[in-house]
Structures are given as structure tokens and as C-alpha cells.
Structure 1
Amino acid sequence: MSRNDLGQYPLLRPQQGFLLPLALFIVLILAGLGVTLSRMTQYSNLSVLQEQASLQAFYAAESGAQYAMHRLYFDSTASLTRAAATAECNGIDNGGTGTAISFTATGLRSCTMTVFCTAVNDSANVTTFYNLTSRGNCSFGDILAERTIEVSSYLQ
């Protein structure tokens, strides 16, 4: 059948090429959707790692606060006095640089904590208030998290 024969068959028309642009459009839409899903998965994985580092930094800071409270009140071999607790607080504070510990336990292996202590007496010099500040730091490659916990106690 030649082109001249098309006049004899009115239902037969030359192809207009509609399917090729439609297929190209569908492929581009699916490719864009794939790229978007890939990026969303990547950001989701990153946020999970950030949340894990944040939680571990919190636990490191909490462990530091517990460590300092133990040293403050239970580490002394002598009876607990305000003078002994204040001396222990000064030892924890270490001249303002604090006491730093790197953890070796499985859950906190890539974490460190630094704890500071200040002792303040009331105006009547009857009660000493101890303020402990513990900072936990955890890092996993480029992901870094830091959490701070403050604990206060007193001794009469």
C-alpha cells in the first residue's frame, strides 16, 4: 500500500508519533520519583544516626553526673563532711578544666564526658550547695552530638 492508496481507505491514517513522547514522559517521571525516594532514604538514614548519637551523648552526660555524685558523696573513706565534699568537688572541677573520661563500654565507645563542680556556701555558712555540670559528646564520623546535664545537691 502506498501513500496514494490512503485515500481509498479513510480509516487508515499515518502514525502521528504520540506513543513515543508519552513513553518518554513516563520514564522521566519515574526517574524523578526514584531520585526523590533515594534522597529521602539517605536523609532518613542520616537522621537515625544523628538521633542515635544524640541519645548516646545524653547517656554519657548522665553517666558523668552519676560519677560526680558518687565521688562527691560516696568516694571518701572518711565520714562525710562539708569540708570533705567541697574538697572532692574541687578535685572534680580540677581548676575549671573538669574531669574528662572516655568510655570503653560497647554502647558509649565513641563518647566522652566532662564534668565540672562548683560549691557555694549559704550566707550563714550552714549549707553548701553543689552544682554539677556534665557534658557528654559522641561522634560517628561527621556526626557529632553534645548534651549537657546539670545536677544540684546540698549538704548541711
Structure 2
Amino acid sequence: MFPKQSGFGLPTALFVILVIILIVAAINTLNQINADTYGRQWLSLRAFYAAESGANLAATYFLSDLTAPACSNSFINNLNLSGNGLNDCLINVSCEQQSDNGEDFFTLTSTGQCGQGSGQTTRIIQIRVKAEIGP
């Protein structure tokens, strides 16, 4: 009545299901890695902008009539940013003074840190300012 069956369909179906499960697992892993990378890139960008903000703030002291803090390793120390996009970011700026041919130059090294624990990112920006007004 029925043709002779050798039972080849069941192993084939199991093999196809196994391959599909492995493909879905690989796609899921790639999606997770992509999401983690995107989050780190976003945090790194925020740290860069925090460092840039610190450098700009420090340069303002030397390029305006504001009274600058003493030029030292803690020129701006642990400034906590709370604005949109930069919450949970800290700025530290160190200052080093050099003189060349009777002119004063200030090297400002701004460090922006965003995030907590293993997800924390740090970016450093260094600028040099020739002070017309300042300390």
C-alpha cells in the first residue's frame, strides 16, 4: 500500500531546524554586539564634548577679564555637568605655564569622563593659549 520508507525525512527535518536555530542565534549575537558598540560610541562622543567644553571654559579665563584660578594640575577639578546630553560627565582641566621670548603660554589639558564602572569613557583634549589678559 505505501511505498517503502527509509526514515530519511526526520533526520533531514531535524538538521534543517538545527541550522535555522544556529542562524537565529548568530543574528541575535550580532545584534547585541552592534547595540553595545553603538552605546560605547555614543558615550565616547559625550566624553569628547565634555572635554571640549572644559577646554573652552578654561580658555575663557585667559582670553577675557575673568580672574583665573591658579595655573596648576587642578585648574578645574571634578566639574560635574548636568546639562542635556552631558549628565553623568565630569571635567578635569590641568594648566601648565610656559614662557617663550617673554610671552606667556598656557597649555590646558582637559579630560572629559562619562559613564560609570566598566562603561566609563575618557577623552582628553589639549590646547595652548597665549594669554593677553590673565594671571
Using structure 1 for the length normalisation, give the TM-score: 0.76
Of 87, 99, 105, the match for 1:109: 87
Identity of aligned residues (%): 31
Shift of 1:71: 1.6
Size of the alignment, in residue pairs?
Answer: 131
* Structure-to-structure mapping, 1:48-87, within 5 angstroms: 48-76=38-66
> Aligned equivalents of 2:71 and 2:54: distance in 1?
11
> Is 1:144 aligned with 2:123?
no
CA deviation digits over 1:6-39, x for unaligned, max 9?
Answer: xxxxxx6421011101100000000000110110
CA deviation digits over 1:21-72, x for unaligned, max 9?
Answer: 1100000000000110110010000000000000000000000000001122
**Residues 53, 140 of structure 1: 8 Å contact kept:** no
Cα RMSD for the two superposed structures: 1.9
CA deviation digits over 1:78-118, x for unaligned, max 9?
Answer: xxxxxxxxxx3x5253xx23422010102100111100111
SS at match of 2:15: helix
> Aligned equivalents of 1:38 and 1:115: distance in 2?
42
**Residues 71, 97 of structure 2: 8 Å contact kept:** no
**Residues 62, 131 of structure 2: 8 Å contact kept:** no
Shift of 1:144: 1.5
> Is 1:91 aligned with 2:91?
no
Moved beyond 6 Å, runs of 4+: none
Q: Name stretches of at least 5 consecutive residues in structure 2 with no aligned partner.
A: none
> Aligned equivalents of 1:155 and 1:137: distance in 2?
27
Shift of 1:141: 6.0
Using structure 2 for the length normalisation, give the TM-score: 0.87
> Aligned equivalents of 1:13 and 1:113: distance in 2?
79
> Aligned equivalents of 1:53 and 1:150: distance in 2?
20
**Residues 112, 123 of structure 2: 8 Å contact kept:** yes
* Residue in structure 1 matched with residue 35 of structure 2 by the alignment: 45
* Residue in structure 2 matched with residue 129 of structure 1 by the alignment: 105
User: 61-70 vs 99-108, which deviates more?
Assistant: 99-108
SS at match of 2:17: helix
* Residue in structure 2 matched with residue 30 of structure 1 by the alignment: 20
Q: Name stretches of at least 5 consecutive residues in structure 1 with no aligned partner.
A: 2-11, 78-87
> Could you say which structure has the larger radius of gyration?
1
